[in-house]
Amino acid sequence: MTVYKYFMKVALKHKFIILGYSTLFLLVAIINGTIAGTEELQFVETDLNIGIIDNMDSELSRGLVGYLEENNNIEDIIEDEGYIREQIFLQALDGAIIIPRDFDEKVINKEEAIELYKDDRRIGAYYLEQQVEKYLIFANATYEDNTFDMDSLKSALNKKANIELIETKKGLKNSRMDIWFKNYYNYTSYIIIAVYIAVIGMVMIEFRDKRLEDRMRISSKKNFSLNREIYLGQVSLGIGITSIFILGSLVLKGRYIGEVEFSKYMINIAVFSFAILCFTFLINNLTRSRFTINGISTVVSLGTSFISGVLVPQEFLGERALSIAKFFPTYYFVSINERSIGSFGDIRYELLMQMMFGIVFLLMGLYFARPRLRA
């Protein structure tokens, strides 16, 4: 097993690629975990991110701020138009309200009483406008004898509607953790493609060095045995790399694996790893250029992640993007992760497609390897 041993030794020389990508991956996974949406068993009101500057500080303006604060997140902002516009542009805020010093007077006179920065095309912004308008219309309705009836207003605004989720949503075990695992494993596809192609590609470049190949050819080692050890090395390396990411999920959220469809993620990642290993085999038989391998590693990993639903959920992607994505295993890998399954029969098509891709890549790789073997 000399070849195998040296294959692994050369692979270890590229440990910084694995470490670099793993660190980046874990960072993304952790950050993504903090921003992942939560799915509850009860209805949860969508809270808007609102910035408010209250220059009036009257009972009426404080009442408005308090009312909006009840169901929304009030963010600290500064009274700078450029800054506010940027926060709206970035979607860090759904809207920003500036209450002027003569707010009460303007409300009484039914004039434009507040400045509202928002994107008119967004439903969240529309809802915010509705909330503000409602408050001010109600406030003015209570205005009598030069004063607003704030107690009645507050009491009326406390009247809530009864809202219920229908039964189909209540069968889920732990939706929040399922979302975390789904996002985590979706991201592994990006990293697996990048690391497999980069690391195995780099090792194979060293093994395909002309002088080394010539020396191997005149050695007593049989070609079959040599290739077997190289392929075994690739498989071992692949298993090792994939294991890092599986272990990562166990370290970060291991205590929840009983509450999510963990076996689905395991089978899916194993099949996907096989497909990508075969893709790497194909690439290694197509080129010996370090630059090309680096390029393919970056472009394919990032590109497929964008169009297959890793970085942007599939539901937001256009038809065109998804049609292109179907020509690579990542699409099917993500589709499985996105779905809640009753049995493995539910995902057999996607698993089969990934296997098929793997086999096609393998056969193509063998085809392109023929001229080299003949030489």
Partner 1 sequence: MKTLLRNCIYQGKNVYRDMGFLFWGLIYPIILVSFFYIAFSGISNIGLEDIDIGMERENPISAILETIDMVNIVEVPRKDANRNLAEGNIDGFIDEDLNILVNDSGINQTMIKGIVEQIKQMNSLNRPMENYDFEANYIADRDQEANGILVIFYSLIGMVSTYSVFAGIETVSLAQGNLTNIGARLNITPLKKKDFLFAGIIVALAFNLLANGLLLLFIEFVLKMNLLREARYSLALIILGNIFGVSLGIFIGASNKQSIGVKTMFAIASTLFLSFLSGLMSPDIKIILDKNLPILGRINPLAIIGNSLYRVNLLGNTKDVGVGMALLTLYSIILIFGAYMFLRRRNYDSI
Residue 151 makes contact with partner 1 by CB under 8 A = no
Residue 251 makes contact with partner 1 by CB under 8 A = no
Q: According to CB under 8 A, which residues from 54 to 113 bind partner 1? A: 82, 84-86, 88-92, 106-107, 110-113
Residue 146 makes contact with partner 1 by CB under 8 A = no
Residue 373 makes contact with partner 1 by CB under 8 A = no
One-letter amino acid for residue 297 of the chain: S
Q: What does the alpha-carbon distance between residue 165 and residue 179 come to, in Å, rounded to a whole number? A: 19
What are φ and ψ of residue 49, in 5° steps? -95, 115
Q: According to CB under 8 A, which residues from 9 to 28 bind partner 1? A: 16-17, 20, 24, 28
Let me know: does 280 contact 200? Beta carbons within 8 Å. yes
Q: What does the alpha-carbon distance between residue 3 and residue 140 come to, in Å, rounded to a whole number? A: 85
> Tokens 């926060």 identify what position?
87
Residue 287 makes contact with partner 1 by CB under 8 A = no
Pair of tokens at residue 324: 């292109």
Q: What does the alpha-carbon distance between residue 90 and residue 239 come to, in Å, rounded to a whole number? A: 40
Residue 225 makes contact with partner 1 by CB under 8 A = no
Cβ distance to partner 1 smaller for residue 111 or 224? 111
Q: What does the alpha-carbon distance between residue 4 and residue 111 come to, in Å, rounded to a whole number? A: 81
Residue 4 makes contact with partner 1 by CB under 8 A = no
Number of chain positions touching partner 1 (CB under 8 A): 91
Cβ distance to partner 1 smaller for residue 19 or 247? 19
One-letter amino acid for residue 74 of the chain: I
First to last CA, the chain: 25
Cβ distance to partner 1 smaller for residue 27 or 366? 27
Which one of 3-11, 40-48, 225-233, 258-266 is the stretch in contact with partner 1 (CB under 8 A)? 40-48
Q: Which of 123, 218, 373, 375 is the binder for partner 1 (CB under 8 A)?
A: 123
Q: What does the alpha-carbon distance between residue 189 and residue 304 come to, in Å, rounded to a whole number? A: 9
The nearest distance, CB 192 to partner 1, in angstroms, is: 17
Q: Which of 8, 150, 157, 355 is the binder for partner 1 (CB under 8 A)?
A: 157
In sequence order, what are the residues at sequence separation of 6 or more whose Cβ sits closer than 8 angstroms to the Cβ of residue 262? 181
Q: According to CB under 8 A, which residues from 309 to 338 bind partner 1? A: 311-312, 316-318, 320-321, 324
